[in-house]
Copies of this chain bind each other. A is one copy, B any other.
């Protein structure tokens, strides 16, 4: 378990930043069949696949108003209070992402602006089953609401009795979301992508899920339905120097590893002693954790490295491009300037990843599998299009018309030129 890689050379990096391979052979075929059956049979297919794969068969595929109204009573008071605090912080952070229109006069008489317009219909997939992820509903529905999406549909698997977890319904209730469809896995993705007798087709699908959900999102996306991202297994990279607290670093690594056997943790420390202390702490904390078996499996593909020079360490971390990056150092804010590729960054000894997972206010839907090289996490931006507008006055067209004519002509587009000339003639 404890092989440590010391100062690897840069030519070894591409191998070291590789994620654990997921065996998804034959998945496309199975998922295509599910999607096609849902396309043909609609709700009936969703029901029968939910029974087959998720072991539930709700009488009614739609959560009723009554079920939503009852939810607060079924949720522990302390949890309700916690959810409300998280909601407040997430709203506060995301509200700043709502763009205001700013008109710019690029040339006299030429006025241009961008306007963020909400995507009309969005579908949010919320995993349920063993762990109903009500926190993900907060993370997706709050920016959707702030963006102004007209229609927000939630799909989520029910439990064996056909009920959706009360905490999910409680979150829906406080956010004013009423359309909740009891469907899990690939069949729920297909229902949102193509519609059923009772589900209206959405424009964009959001939400995490297992490899079946991800495969379904990939397939409907190839067929032209927009998606937020293709979520791979979750991952955390930690940079630790002498000022870190090894017990905290250990706790963060353990928290990441409990997500699943395919999760990955990476620790880059500036010396061997730090790693030794972290490992000692892992051994101390692990036995008390209920998901220790999952953690041990995840740890099979952990990477612990010693990289002495701070710039090399951050070059390596940028090469890894982690979903979550913790900078376990008292000097974290200065070191953060070196971050080029990451989804969300946790600074200093009092910023555990789990704070961002739930309640700091940042979004926990983040780019995995190295996609933070080019992609951002979910934000209000994910729920809008930015449409550009331009209005030229007669004077404005006179100001730039000659340039348009010259450039159009040089590109061999005389009709483009003519569209200006005919207006300037008058």
Interface positions of A (Cβ within 8 A of B): 76, 78-79, 81-83, 85-86, 88-90, 92-93, 96-97, 102, 104, 106-107, 110, 112, 114, 117, 119-120, 130-135, 167, 203-204, 222, 226, 247-248, 251-252, 254-255, 257-259, 285, 288-291, 295, 332-333, 336, 339-363, 367, 371-377, 379, 381, 384-394, 396-397, 400-408, 410-420, 422-423
Specify which chain B residues have a CB less than 8 angstroms from the CB of A254 in the assembled complex. 415, 418-419
Contact of A97 with B112 in the complex, beta carbons under 8 Å? no
- Of A357, A384, A422, chain B has the most CB atoms within 10 Å of the CB of A422
Q: A133-B411, A381-B381 are in contact. List 11 more A-B contacts (CB 8 A).
A: A79-B406, A89-B400, A134-B407, A203-B373, A226-B373, A251-B422, A350-B393, A351-B397, A352-B404, A360-B400, A367-B385
Complex alpha-carbon distance, A2 and B396, angstroms: 34
Q: Which of A133, A336, A359, A376 has the most CB of B within 10 A?
A: A359
In the bound complex, residues from chain B placing their C-beta under 8 Å from that of A78 are 402, 406
Are A97 and B119 in contact (CB-based, < 8 A)?
no
From B97, B106, B117, give the contact of A89 (CB < 8 A).
B106
* Minimum Cβ distance to chain B for residue A103 (Å): 10
Copy number of this protein in the oligomer? 2
A248 contacts which chain B residues (CB < 8 A)?
419, 422-423
CB-CB under 8 A from A112, the residues of chain B are: 93, 360-362
**Bound state CA distance, A39 and B374, in angstroms?**
22
Q: Cβ of A389 and Cβ of B347 under 8 Å apart?
A: yes
Task: Please give, as numbers and ranges, the residues of chain B lying within 8 Å of A88 by CB-CB distance.
Answer: 106-107
A226 → chain B closest CB, angstroms: 4
**Contact status B354-A412, CB under 8 Å:** no
Are B390 and A361 closer than 8 Å at their CB atoms? yes
Instruction: List 12 A–B pairs whose Cβ atoms lie within 8 Å, in order of A's numbering.
Output: A81-B406, A82-B403, A90-B106, A167-B410, A254-B415, A255-B416, A259-B413, A288-B418, A344-B389, A350-B392, A355-B397, A359-B400
